[in-house]
Amino acid sequence: MNEHLRQKIADLARRCHDGARVAVLSGAGISAASGIPTFRGGSDDALWSRYRPEQLATPEAFERDPELVWRWYDWRRGLIADAAPNEAHHALVELATITDVRVITQNVDGYHQQAGSQDVIEYHGNIWTVRCTSCHFEDLDHRVPIPIPPRCPRCHELVRPAVVWFGEGIPTEAAAEAEKVAAACDILLVVGTAGAVYPAAGLVTVAGVNQATIAEFNLEPSAITQRADLYVPGSAAETLPLLLETPA
């Protein structure tokens, strides 16, 4: 990392230590250091490498073959359960002891909360929550493996993962709260997201219109990079903790 970039990060850290309001938009890249494959990055698993997420994470796929969809989600839940939050998640928890931090995550793994972040806005839901397809009862279910197909404890009908699938809208409350947080922040940290999926990517525009500083922490440039005031390349597990260093 060159000296100019280090100075830019130090300037950002100084603003955080001076009480700037920080919003975080996190994507799959923040969990990559935990060993969780990105949603669009494919799979090394011999079975699931044959499928694209768009073939499984849809209401139509679930209606057609709920057992197949649940087997895929059970596999993903197993990966998450066997891993843990990494230094990037913990850095955001520590940053919240210094200044106001609100996390908006596109991830469904629950790692932000597991690390200790409070009031996380789960833009795309949570893989550990199940929702009944009949009575709409929601409940946490951390069983791995989960009985397939899982049934509602109340009405015994089929349940589904309470996540946002392709073709479905963002929950109204989460969308409204995320936009409110993005509009009110002084700094938006964009961490590990490609900025390719809307409406989440639109939160960057909301923050920018309201004069927030956009700082992107990503392994490689994304659709957001050209709009960012600062781009920090590399693993977020290594770069985000730099914001905790007390500025000189």
pLDDT range class, residue 102, cuts 50, 70, 90: very high
Is a pLDDT exceeding 60 seen at residue 244?
yes
Asked if residue 90 and residue 67 are part of one domain, the reply reads: no
152 with 181, same domain: the answer is no
93 and 200, same domain (yes or no): yes
Please indicate, yes or no, whether residues 62 and 5 belong to a single structural domain of this protein: no
pLDDT of residue 83: 97
Regarding whether 231 and 136 lie in a shared domain, the answer is: no
- Of all residues in the chain, the percent with pLDDT exceeding 70 is 96
Residue 33 DSSP SS3 = coil
Domain boundary among 136, 163, 190: 163
17 catalytically annotated: no
Together in a domain, 184 and 77: no
Q: Count up the domains in the chain and report the number.
A: 2
Same structural domain, 137 and 239: no
Could you give the CA distance from residue 232 to residue 227 in angstroms, rounded to a whole number?
Answer: 13
- Looking at the fold, whether 89 and 197 belong to one and the same domain comes out as yes
What mean pLDDT comes out for the span 6-21?
A: 96
Q: Could you report the per-residue pLDDT of 103-122, keeping only the tens digit for each? A: 999 999 999 999 999 999 99
137 with 75, same domain: the answer is yes
Average pLDDT over residues 180-204: 94
Per the structure, the complete domain to which residue 201 belongs is given by 1-36+85-123+171-248
Q: Please, are residues 25 and 203 in contact by the beta-carbon 8 Å criterion?
A: yes
- Residue 3 sits in the same domain as residue 22: yes
DSSP letter assigned to residue 40: T
Tens of pLDDT, residue by residue over 137-155, are 999 999 999 999 999 999 9
Q: What is the pLDDT of residues 156-187, one digit of tens each?
A: 999 999 999 999 999 999 999 999 999 999 99
Last residue of a domain, one of 133, 163, 193: 163
Residues 29 and 57 in one domain: no
Give the span between the Cα atoms of 158 and 151, in whole angstroms.
5
Active-site entry in 124, 136, 142, 156: 124
The C-alpha atoms of residue 140 and residue 45 are separated, in whole angstroms, by 26
The residue out of 109, 137, 163 marking a domain boundary is: 163
What does DSSP say about strands 213-218 and 101-105: parallel, antiparallel, or unpaired? unpaired
Q: Supply the CATH number for residue 131's domain.
A: 3.30.1600.10
> Hey, how many other C-beta atoms are within 10 angstroms of the C-beta on 161?
26
The pTM score is: 0.94
Residue pair 223/52 in contact (Cβ under 8 Å)? The answer is: no
Q: Is pLDDT above 90 for 49?
A: no
Q: Does 143 share its domain with 234?
A: no
> What is the percent of the chain with per-residue pLDDT over 90, rounded to a whole number?
88
Q: Which pLDDT value is given to residue 45?
A: 57
Packing angle, helices 172-184 and 202-209, rounded to 10: 40
